[in-house]
Structure formats: structure tokens, C-alpha cells
Amino acid sequence: MEVGSLHFHCRPIPWSPELRRRTKPTLRRFLFFFRASSSSSNSRADYKGPKPRRDWVADLVSNNDDAVRSLPIYVGGASLLAVLLNRTVSGIAPVADASSSQSRADLLALGLAVTNILTGLVWLSIRPKPISVVSPEGVECQRIYSHLPDSVSSELLWVWESLSDVTCCRTLIVVYDSHCILQIGFAAKSSIGDGEPVAVDAVKLMQGSLYQNVIKSGAQSYLANLSLYPGKSELPFLPSNTQAVILQPLGEKGVAIIGGDTIRGFTTSDQAWITLIGEKLDATIAKHVKDLTLSAQE
Amino acid sequence: MSNLLCSNPLIQFKMKIIPAQFPAKKSTMKPASISSRLQNSQTPSNQQLNLSVLRFTLGIPGLDESYLPRWIGYGFASLLILNHFVGSDSATTTPAQLRTEAIGLSLAAFSVLIPYLGKFLKGASATDKATIPEGTEQIFVMSQNILDTKKEDLAWATYILLRNTNTIAVLISVQGALCARGYWNIPEEASRKNLLEWFERQIERIGLKNLKDTLYFPQNSDSVLWELLPKGTRSLLVQPVLQVPKPGANQMEGIEGFVLLASSMGYAYGDRDKAWIGALANKFGG
């Protein structure tokens, strides 16, 4: 049976199945309420399981990111001062020896305070740098090759919706078999003067070095900061201030060009998703490619 | 169809994704020397945060330095208590010492809390990898009485979810078709033929088919959430698949099904992951 055989041929899950026991206990255990929610009296059973509790600590920390980052410094510094104050107020000479138990306790508290201060400094130093979004200059367009079957065009539109919703993608162009079958999103305004979006010259693109390299290597190419690449001239249909571009080969015959509005805007997770989506797109289009060449001859 | 899916394992070798970490440790003779490690981690967020970070580590492989404050907190707290009882007689403890110990213990409690707070800061990367719990077996079952294109879609969707997120088990139920893949705890009495029926029964019992909102349980305690899930599930995400209302028609959003993802690590699904999973669910909803 076909489905059964897949189980044996393909074992794509890449992690190694070594077992590691979890040793650290979680500090907060969120309780789950196993109360049956009152189900309405329709024929299908309503969801009866537990509802997730709002994680207020996570929300608090994410919303006050800067304050939480410097919190350990304040806590450590305040405790340091408190320990020293305690020592002077109690009339003990500020000598750092471990002879009396008081001194030992002081030293331990000082050590903890220093740890906190260092942690706060580390957190401040690894604060991520926010990168601003650059609005693409151009006109919106939506061009789909007219002779595509419904399944292919709906798949292409789904890809565009997913990419534009989830990532910083603002332009999507799919070129397959010397035709541009999709140009959607922002495009550069044509200089001829009528303000129409620039069309994609698929043949010229396929002769360019960007396309050739991507097809030859068969791997995704991520141009994280497009302004640094001379190959930018091969993509005149993208808005001129496109910040990042991903070129995803679709099999051997096509490429998907994804333009984003932020430098280094595509994360590694995005890249992985785009790679696998590209393969699916290739499989879908390849099944219908005879329709493409036939209709082109019309 | 087998062409599509069997070529996928090869992609592991062809893909040249920019690696997330460039370990550049300077190894010296002393194992505990401080060395520097360049970490290029990219964080998911609406504002496209990105960072290249220089972090100091002790150079010991497998040691997670972000948990160091917790261990120091436990260690110093125990030393403080030891000092209180053993270091001197109880009769001679001064109020000053008690104050210092109070400050020390509260500091230790705060230090223990620090890794937990650090997990929610922007830029925190999950360093654990999903581990496979014991007693589970890898399965891949799918309803048979559906179109081939549907089968391909389901197989591809389960593959991509297992591959790209920290998921160990995935279950998709949409428009009457069911597909389960990954590491599940199968009870003894369910043979391979009855597996689909067993899943159906469990789903009916919980009532997942009528789910309207996304459920996300990021941190499961040791109590078993549902019998359906593999033991050792720490995070659970259930994404309903809603029917896209046709433009112009006056119909409510129907529920087509759901996508269930289980992971063996806590807080496994960040915002970006959830966005992608939602986009994938839309594929089945149209």
C-alpha cells in the first residue's frame, strides 16, 4: 500500500533519538482545570478539555523588556548597599575576612549580589537591535498567468497570503519554464510614464547570473541586504528599495523571488519554511506543466 | 506521490541554510577558561529583531550558561543555611547576621528565578532540542478514502510541521480526513488497522472537532493532559481550521477541522511558529 510504504522509505525526522531526562524542575506549575465546560445541546460535542491559562508572567516580561533587563542590576546593587550598610550600622569593622560567621554570611550575600549585577549587564548587552521596516516604493500589482489550472493558482495565492502575513515579504514573483506565472505585491513603477508596474522579462532573468547560480546549486539563495549585491540590476521589477530577497529554486525549471522590506528580515525558520513550500509548489506546477507549454503555443 | 516525499530527505543534504550558530571557541588547556562564542541568532518578532551577539561562555560543552545564576543561587543559599547552623552557636547569632542572611536568601531566590524570566525576553533562543519521550513509536497513518491530492497535501503538511517546528507528534483532521504522524503512544489494543478509529474516538471524547479558538498550552505539568497525547508532552498547540467564507455569500465561518501539534519541550512554539502554523491551516480551509 502506497501510504504504508512511505513509512519505510522516508524517515525525515532528523533529530537523534537519545533520551535526556529533565532534571530541572519547573518553578511555576500552571494548574489545569479539568472541569467539563457546559456543552450546548447540539449534535456535535463541544470542546470539553481544559482551557489554557493566561501566562501573565510571560506577558509582563515581554511587555516590559527593557525594565526587566536592568532589574537584576538594581536588585544586586541594592542588596550590595544593604549588606554594607548592615555591616557598618551594626558596628562591625568592614574587614573582609571569613573568620566570623557574620563575615561569611556577608561574603555569600555579596557573591550573590555580584552574580545578579553581572546577569543584568549580560542581558543589557544582548538586547536585540530593532531594525526598521522600509516601505517599498512602487505600485501594487497582481498578475497571474491566465492559463493556469485552478489548483495551481489557488496554491500560488495561498503561498502569497502566507508569506505576506507571516514574514516581511512584500513582493512575490514566480517564474517557471520561461514564463512569469505570478507577479504579486509591490513592483517597481515603470519609467515609461504610465505608472504601470514593470513586467518580468522571464527570458532575460533566466539568462542572468542570479538565476543560473540558483538553479545550478539547487539551493536557496538569501540576499539579506540587497543594496550590497551587484546582482540587483537583474531584478529591475522589484521596488528599488527592496531590502532583502530570497531566491528559491523550484526544481530545475523555475524560481520564486521573494522580496522583503527589512534587512535580514527573513529568519532561519522562515527560510526553512520557504524551502519546503518551494518544493511543494514545484511538485504542483510540474504536474500541470504540459498545460503551460500547450497553452503558450496557442 | 512517493516521488515528492521520498525526495524530501535528500533536501537535508542539498539545503544550504545559513547556520544559526558559529561556534568559534578558543580552546585552551584549562577547561574552565572563559572563551568567546559568536552567536548569530535571529528572533521572530513583528519588528524583525535581529542580533549578532558576542557571549562569554565557560567553554564546557553541554553546559547552559544561562542557568548559572540558578545554580549559584541554590549553592549559596545552602551555604548560607549551613553557615547559620554549623558556623556558630545559635545563641550567639546577632540580629545583624540574621539581616544579612535574610538579604542573602532573598537574593538567592531572585537568582533562581532569573533563567525563568530570561526565557521571555526578546532574543532568548530555545537551547533545548526536542527529545523523544520513552515508550512512543513512530507512526504515519492517513485516512484512505480521500483524493490523492488531499493525501499529498496532508503528507506534505505533516512533514513540514515535524521538520520545521519543535514538534514530535502531529495530528491533522480536516473535512473528515485524518492524518497522524510522529511519535505517539499507541495503546496495545489498537492495531494498525484500528489506529484511525482509536484517534477518532479520542477526538470525539475531547470534542476537538468543534474547536473555534487556538489552544496553546506552553507548559504542561506532569499530569497527563489528554490520553491521546504521547507521554512527556510539554507543549500543545491546537489550531482550528476555519472555512474561508466565500466573498459575497452570507455564511458564517464554519469549522473544517483542526491541526494538533505536541512537543516534548516547554514553550515550544513562539509567535513566528504560530503564525506559520496558522498559515498552513489556511491551506486546508479554503
CB < 8 Å to B6, chain A: 6, 9-10
Nearest by CB to B6, from A10, A130, A267: name it: A10
Residue A29, pLDDT > 70, answer no
Residue of A nearest to B20 (CA): A268
What are B231-255's pLDDT values in tens digits? 778 888 888 888 776 666 666 667 8
The predicted model gives B110-138 an average pLDDT of 78
Report CB contact under 8 Å: B107, A130: no
Cβ within 8 Å of B, A 195-234: 217-220, 222
Could you tell me if residue B130 is inside a domain? no
On whether the CB atoms of residues A83 and A106 are closer than 8 A, the answer is: yes
DSSP code per residue over chain A: -HHHHHHHH-----S--------SPPS-------PPPPPPSSSSPPP-SPPPPP-HHHHHHHHTHHHHHHHHHHHHHHHHHHHHHHHHHTT------SSSHHHHHHHHHHHHHHHHHHHHHHHHHTPPBP----PPPSEEEEEE-TT--HHHHHHHHHHHHHHHHHSSEEEEEEEETTEEEEEEEEEPBPTTTT-PBPPP-HHHHHHSHHHHHHHHH-S-EEESSGGG-GGGGG-TTS-TT--EEEEEEETTTEEEEEEESSTT-S-HHHHHHHHHHHHHHHHHHHHTHHHHHHHHT-
The residue-averaged pLDDT of B101-118 equals 90
* Same domain for B81 and B164: no
- Domain co-membership, B232 together with B108: no
Cβ <8 Å between A30 and B221: yes
User: Is residue A92 located within the same domain as residue A215?
Assistant: no
Q: Which residue of A has its CA nearest to B221?
A: A29
Q: In this predicted model, what pLDDT tens digit does every residue of A174-183 receive, in sequence order?
A: 998 888 888 9
Which residue would you say has higher pLDDT here, A89 or A255? A255
Its pTM stands at 0.71
Closest partner CB to A45 (pick from B87, B163, B210): B210
Residue in the structure block whose three cell numbers are 505585491: A185
Which segment of A55-59, B171-175, B194-198, B245-249 scores lowest on mean pLDDT?
B245-249
In a domain, B7, yes or no: no
Residue A9 maps to a domain: no
Any domain includes A38: no
Domain that residue A92 falls in: 63-125
Q: CB count, 10 Å around CB of B37?
A: 17
B109 CB near a chain A CB, below 8 Å?
no
CA distance A293 to chain B (A): 22
Contact partners, residue B81, CB within 8 Å, separation at least 6: none
Report the pLDDT value the prediction gives residue B115, as an integer from 0 to 100.
87
Q: Are residues A156 and A213 in the same domain?
A: yes
Least Cα separation, residue A283 to chain B (angstroms) = 7
Please tell me which of the candidates B97, B210, B275 has its beta carbon nearest to residue A44.
Answer: B210
A288 close contact with B: CB closer than 8 A: no
- Interchain CB contact of B38 with A (< 8 Å): no
- Indicate if B97 and B144 belong to the same structural domain: no
> Is A92 found in the same domain as A149?
no
A14: chain B residues, CB-CB within 8 Å: 12, 163
Q: A19, B141: Cβ pair inside 8 Å?
A: no
A–B CB contacts, 8 A cutoff, strictly below: 302
User: Over the stretch A127-172, which tens digit does the pLDDT of each residue have?
Assistant: 877 788 888 888 888 888 888 888 888 899 999 999 999 998 999 9
Minimum-distance CB partner of A83 among B68, B100, B113: B100
Q: What is the pLDDT of residue A245?
A: 92
Whether A82 is covered by a domain: the verdict is yes
Q: Above 60 in pLDDT, residue B196?
A: yes
Q: Which of B99, B275, B283 is facing A158, going by the closest CB pair?
A: B283
- Identify all chain B residues contacting A66, using CB atoms and an 8 Å cutoff: none
- Do the beta carbons of residue B218 and residue B264 sit within 8 Å? no
Do the Cβ atoms of A225 and A264 come closer than 8 Å? yes
Do B163 and B109 fall into the same domain? no
Q: Is residue B103 part of a domain?
A: yes
Instruction: Tally the domains of chain B.
Output: 2
> What pLDDT is recorded for position B158?
92
Identify whether residues A284 and A201 lie together within a single domain: yes
- A55: nearest CA in chain B? B218
B69 vs A: CB within 8 A:
yes
Residue B56's pLDDT band, with cuts at 50, 70 and 90, is low
B173 in Cβ contact with B150 (< 8 Å): no
In whole angstroms, what is the distance from residue A212 CA to residue A282 CA? 17
Q: Is the domain of A77 the same as that of A170?
A: no
- Name residues 260-279 of chain B within 8 A of A (Cβ): 266, 272-273, 275-276, 278-279
The DSSP bridge pattern shows strands B177-184 and B215-217 to be unpaired
Express as a percent the part of chain B with pLDDT over 90. Answer: 11
Say how many domains are in chain A: 2
Query: Do B230 and B114 fall within a single domain?
Result: no
B103 and B224 within one domain: no
* Percent of chain B whose predicted confidence (pLDDT) is above 70: 66
For residue A53, the number of C-alpha atoms closer than 13 Å in the C-beta half-sphere is 14
For residues A203-228, average pLDDT:
88
pLDDT tier at B225, thresholds 50, 70, 90: low
Would you say residue B112 lies in a domain?
Answer: yes
Cα–Cα–Cα angle for B229, B231, B232, rounded to 5 degrees: 115
Condensed to tens digits (0 to 9), the pLDDT of residues B144-154 reads 888 888 888 89
Q: What is the residue-averaged pLDDT of chain A?
A: 78
- Judge: A48–B6 Cβ closer than 8 Å, yes or no: no
Q: With respect to residue A204, please indicate whether it lies within any of the assigned structural domains.
A: yes
Instruction: Kindly indicate the confidence band of residue B199, based on its pLDDT and cuts at 50, 70 and 90.
Output: confident
Q: Domain of B108?
A: 65-122
pLDDT in tens, A80-112: 999 988 888 877 665 656 577 888 888 899 999
* Structure letter (DSSP) for residue B140: E
- The rounded radius of gyration (Å) of the Cα atoms in chain A is 29
On whether any CB of chain B is under 8 Å from the CB of A102, the answer is yes
CB nearest A58 (choices: B120, B144, B286): B120
In a domain, residue A3? The reply is: no
Task: Read off the DSSP letter of residue B223.
Answer: S
Residues B249 and B153 in one domain: yes
| Interface probe with A: pick from B48, B74, B128, B252, most Cβ of A within 10 Å | B48
Restricting to B residues 199-258, those with a Cβ less than 8 Å away from any Cβ of A are 204-211, 215-221, 223, 225-226
Q: What is the pLDDT of residue A252?
A: 87
Locate B111 and state its grid cell: 537568582
Residues of A within 8 A of B75 (CB-CB) are: none
Answer whether residue B224 is part of any domain. Answer: yes
**A-chain residues near B228 (CB < 8 A):** none
B73 part of contact set with chain A, CB < 8 Å: yes
